[in-house]
Amino acid sequence: MDDPLAKLKNGTLKLYDLEKEMPPDEAVRVRRAYVEGETGADLAALGTYSIGIDRVVKRNIENMIGAVQVPVGVAGPLAVKGEYARGTYWLPLATTEGALVASANRGCSAITKAGGADVRIIKDGMTRAPVFAARDIVHAREIADWAVANTAKLAAAAELTTSRGKLLSITPYIVGTNVFLRCAYDTKDAMGMNMVTIATAEIANLVEAVTGARFIALSGNMCTDKKPAAINMIEGRGRSVVAGVHLSNDLIETVLKTDARTLAEVNYRKNLIGSVRAGALGSNAHAANIIAALYLACGQDIAHVVEGSSCITTIEATDDGGAYVAVTLPAVQVGTVGAGTVIDTQAACLSLLGVAGGGEPEGANAKAFAEIVAAGVLAGELSLLGALAAHHLARAHKELGRG
């Protein structure tokens, strides 16, 4: 073809059309060169990557100019005693924050020496909540009642769009003439946002056609996706997971360099009282750190760290002088198929955990991954709370180069 850079400059070729004119790698190189010429920036470093991009440019990103590389470290081994994840795992953590992997590693050591973390999924359902306008509040109630009474009919319509997703429930919420229908789905091994969005569109169209409701938007923010929300804390979104471990006082002193009483007091005064006083959604030390690092490494939608980090950490004294430490994560939104999970480097990290691809039975791999995430968060909480209790936090960050 004629000089693509010249055609980009004169407007006869669009940046997003390059893949239609040439192979993906060449399209990325030309686009990067064009942006370099327009901005004066040196983007050569973005051009070095190991991932195959044929699928990436079609399904994962638009206007690709290269890739940003994030260092990946491992923490472990971490012993997990879940219903789906059972065994020892090395956690792949993608981060640029010095001290994070070392901290998680210490928490993994404490949990594994204690015999492993118990983990259970207590609820599972990905949500999408369209909003409708009613004529008045009487009509609003009629819309909500019809949707609940006809859940089976709406499920049949939704499930025509997917071979795997299943509608679990519809919960209506009314605000004046606004009707929100919070639809929850079993999405098997997929995180499922695309799946439930497409399925819920069918529900919304049917509700509008039958009830006379005016369909306003496919997401009415009652889902709630990628925003802090009390409804996710209470009702859950994705996988709701709890993880806990019993630590003897001797183990706490040996690994965490503090004692059970001090560990519990730090959690109470920092995570519980401090979080309440701050008006925080969640009461934890740094759940977002571990979740973000695992999500980045394993091809998850990183924006879901918002809901995932709404974690509650609890520590209770035990009769033997030790402590029972637990984390409750109401909204762990993860998948092991589709989206970013199939990119080469991310797929490798899921393979490291033994959860890449679809599970047997369907959904088992995503559930196992959710359990591993919860156990990893527990490890991170233990280590940071121990460092705070022992007054070692600043020293550790200084030694490990955190800026």
If asked whether residues 298 and 387 sit together in one domain, one would say yes
Q: What is the CATH number of the domain that holds 188?
A: 3.30.70.420
Q: What is the CATH number of the domain that holds 320?
A: 3.90.770.10
If asked whether residues 352 and 272 sit together in one domain, one would say yes
In a domain, 91, yes or no: yes
In a domain, 299, yes or no: yes
If asked whether residues 252 and 301 sit together in one domain, one would say yes
If asked whether residues 166 and 34 sit together in one domain, one would say no
If asked whether residues 83 and 42 sit together in one domain, one would say no
Interhelix angle 193-211/137-149, rounded to 10 degrees, is 120
If asked whether residues 251 and 387 sit together in one domain, one would say yes
If asked whether residues 24 and 58 sit together in one domain, one would say yes
Q: How far is CA 300 from CA 30, 342, 368, in A?
A: 28, 10, 15
pLDDT averages per 10-residue partition of the chain, 403 residues: 88 94 95 96 96 94 96 98 98 96 97 98 98 98 98 97 95 98 98 96 98 98 95 97 98 96 97 97 97 98 95 97 98 96 97 97 98 98 96 62 50
If asked whether residues 134 and 118 sit together in one domain, one would say no
In a domain, 261, yes or no: yes
User: Would you call 54 a catalytic residue per the annotation?
Assistant: no
Domain span including residue 90: 72-123+240-399
If asked whether residues 202 and 288 sit together in one domain, one would say no
User: Would you call 360 a catalytic residue per the annotation?
Assistant: no
- Of 154, 186, 217, the position where a domain reaches its end is 217
- Of 44, 69, 94, the position where a domain reaches its end is 69
Q: Is 251 left (phi over 0), alpha (psi -120 to 50) or beta?
A: alpha
Q: Indicate the number of domains in the chain.
A: 3
In a domain, 22, yes or no: yes
Predicted pLDDT at 403: 46
Task: Give per-residue pLDDT as tens, 340-384.
Answer: 999 999 999 999 999 999 999 999 999 999 999 999 999 999 999
Of 139, 246, 392, 397, the active-site residue reads 397
In a domain, 228, yes or no: no
If asked whether residues 386 and 285 sit together in one domain, one would say yes
If asked whether residues 275 and 349 sit together in one domain, one would say yes
Predicted pLDDT at 400: 61
If asked whether residues 293 and 386 sit together in one domain, one would say yes
In a domain, 3, yes or no: no
**Burial (0-12, 13-18, 19+ Cβ within 10 Å), 230:** exposed
Of 19, 97, 189, 307, the active-site residue reads 97
In a domain, 7, yes or no: no
In a domain, 387, yes or no: yes
Of 25, 202, 301, 316, the active-site residue reads 301
**pTM listed for this prediction:** 0.94
User: Would you call 397 a catalytic residue per the annotation?
Assistant: yes
Contact between 400 and 267 under an 8 Å Cβ cutoff? The reply is no
How many alpha carbons lie under 13 Å from residue 381 in its C-beta half-sphere?
34
Interhelix angle 287-297/364-389, rounded to 10 degrees, is 140
